Amino acid sequence: MLKKVSVGCFIGVMLLNNVLFAQGEEMPKPEAESVWQYITQEKPFTDWSFWPDHQGTNPSNAPHAPKHKIYVNTQALHSKQPPLQDGSMVVKYNLSPADEVKAITLMYKVKGYNPDAGDWFWVQYSPTGEVYEAGKLEKCIGCHAAKSASDYILVHKFNN
Contacts of 13 (CB under 8 A, 6+ apart): none
Task: List, in order of start, the domains of the chain with CATH numbers.
Answer: 2-150 (3.50.70)
Q: In the chain, what are the helix, strand and coil shares in percent, each to the nearest 5?
A: 35, 25, 40
Per-residue confidence (pLDDT) for residue 10, from 0 to 100: 45
pLDDT along the chain (160 residues), means of 10: 51 45 76 98 98 96 90 97 98 96 98 98 98 98 96 90
Per-residue confidence (pLDDT) for residue 68, from 0 to 100: 96
Cα–Cα nearest to 60, from 121, 151, 143: 143
Per-residue confidence (pLDDT) for residue 7, from 0 to 100: 44
Cα–Cα nearest to 78, from 69, 68, 70, 89: 89
What 8-state DSSP symbol labels residue 92?
A: E
Per-residue confidence (pLDDT) for residue 105, from 0 to 100: 98
Q: How far apart are CA 20 and CA 32, in angstroms?
A: 26
Q: What are phi and psi of 139, to 5 degrees?
A: -65, -35
